[in-house]
């Protein structure tokens, strides 16, 4: 327990490398540490290829780790065996990015939603199963009669709602939402986000919400972690991160979000990022952001900045803050 909040997941110095050949590895996640508290939504943001999806998937054991540790309720996720794994897969569910490929087109909606309940033997009869599926469809804003249809009959937003119902069917404690709105039309993105916020509150779910859209993450997250090239560079309460970002990369990402007020938009300072994100196979020495950072000094390409708590719960990894606080 920290600050009266109970830690549900603890990620310690997590590394996930993918071997390319005998000499080279892609360092997708490199020495990342954070905690997720019970009942909160932690947003993880960063540009595509920064390692956020790999980080989420390694945290829930979809990928084996290369090094470090992930503890769920104190148990090592990657050392679980037999019944522990089965229990863990009931408590931890995932909502996928692509509602088109993540649902089996050969199954009816009922069977897609009921599969997890059957595996974990959560219902005693077919009648109960049907009632639970219909209740879930209502909770996600679909018609209970949709249970007898196939997924190709639904729009992207409706398919994502079916994916959410499937995840909720086993009464999970933890949801990994892996860019759940990025494949959807802009017009339905907010609806799916609002649904997730509502369900998260009603069920006291703990969520890890992965996205590259910072404005959406702010709306749904209690805290936000910013990743860059396999590292976490800043972690703070959502409001504080958006109002007082510390890391130059976070500032750059935020300054790229347009502000609807033309006067405020004109006045504010934009930080333009030069160049591309370097390859995670051969990342820069020292701070990985050093080849794109407008504030870089010689120390930045020599020494990796450590995560430092600058304010209560506000962590940043940047040499600018080495002497501060
Ligand atoms: Fe920029 Fe240096 Fe801070 Fe990295 S450590 S973000 S290069 S100032």
The pLDDT, as a whole number, for residue 322 is 86
56 lines ligand 1 (CB under 6 A): no
The pLDDT, as a whole number, for residue 3 is 64
DSSP state of 307: P
Angstrom distance (rounded) from CA 223 to CA 2: 15
Contact call for residues 236 and 315 (beta carbons, < 8 A): yes
Lowest-confidence region among 55-59, 228-232, 233-237, 263-267: 263-267
245 lines ligand 1 (CB under 6 A): no
The CA 314 to ligand 1 mean position distance, Å, reads: 17
317 lines ligand 1 (CB under 6 A): no
Angstrom distance (rounded) from CA 142 to CA 31: 42
pTM value?
0.92
The pLDDT, as a whole number, for residue 1 is 44
Is the pLDDT at 275 greater than 90? The verdict is no
Angstrom distance (rounded) from CA 293 to CA 247: 10
Residues 102-135: tens digit of each pLDDT: 899 999 999 999 999 999 999 999 999 999 999 9
Angstrom distance (rounded) from CA 43 to CA 214: 9
229 lines ligand 1 (CB under 6 A): no
197 lines ligand 1 (CB under 6 A): no
DSSP state of 108: B
Q: At what angle do helices 109-119 and 126-139 cross, to 10 degrees?
A: 120
Instruction: For the chain, give the mean pLDDT.
Output: 92
The CA 307 to ligand 1 mean position distance, Å, reads: 12
Q: What is the mean pLDDT of residues 163-184?
A: 94
At 297, list the tokens.
Answer: 């000094």
Atom nearest to 249 CA in ligand 1: 6
The CA 256 to ligand 1 mean position distance, Å, reads: 19
Contact call for residues 289 and 319 (beta carbons, < 8 A): no
């Amino acid at each position: 327990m920290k600050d009266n909040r109970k830690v549900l997941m603890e990620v310690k110095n997590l590394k996930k490398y993918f071997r390319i050949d005998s000499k080279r590895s892609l360092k997708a996640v490199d020495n990342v540490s954070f905690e997720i508290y019970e009942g909160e939504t932690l947003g993880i943001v960063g540009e595509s290829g920064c390692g956020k999806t790999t980080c989420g998937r390694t945290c829930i054991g979809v990928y084996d780790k290369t090094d470090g540790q992930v503890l769920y309720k104190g148990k090592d996720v990657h050392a679980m065996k037999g019944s522990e794994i089965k229990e863990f897969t009931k408590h931890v569910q995932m909502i996928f990015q692509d509602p088109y490929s993540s649902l089996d087109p050969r199954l009816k909606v009922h069977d897609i939603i009921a599969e997890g309940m059957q595996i974990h033997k959560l219902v005693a009869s077919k009648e109960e199963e049907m009632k639970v599926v219909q209740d879930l469809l209502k909770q996600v804003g679909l018609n209970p009669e949709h249970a007898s249809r196939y997924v190709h009959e639904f729009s992207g937003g409706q398919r994502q709602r079916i994916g959410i119902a499937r995840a909720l069917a086993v009464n999970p404690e933890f949801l990994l939402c892996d860019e759940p709105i990025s494949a959807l039309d802009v017009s339905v993105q907010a609806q799916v986000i609002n649904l997730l916020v509502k369900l998260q509150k009603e069920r006291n779910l703990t969520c890890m919400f992965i996205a590259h859209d910072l404005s959406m993450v702010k709306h749904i997250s209690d805290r936000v972690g910013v990743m860059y090239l396999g590292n976490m560079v800043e972690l703070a309460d959502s409001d504080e991160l958006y109002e007082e970002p510390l890391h130059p990369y976070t500032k750059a990402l935020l300054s790229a979000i347009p502000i609807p007020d033309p006067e405020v938009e004109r006045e504010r300072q934009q930080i333009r990022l030069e160049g591309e994100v370097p390859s995670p196979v051969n990342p820069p020495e020292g701070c990985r952001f050093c080849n794109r950072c407008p504030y870089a000094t010689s120390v930045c390409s020599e020494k990796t900045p450590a995560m430092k708590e600058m304010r209560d719960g506000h962590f940043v990894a940047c040499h600018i803050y080495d002497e501060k606080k």
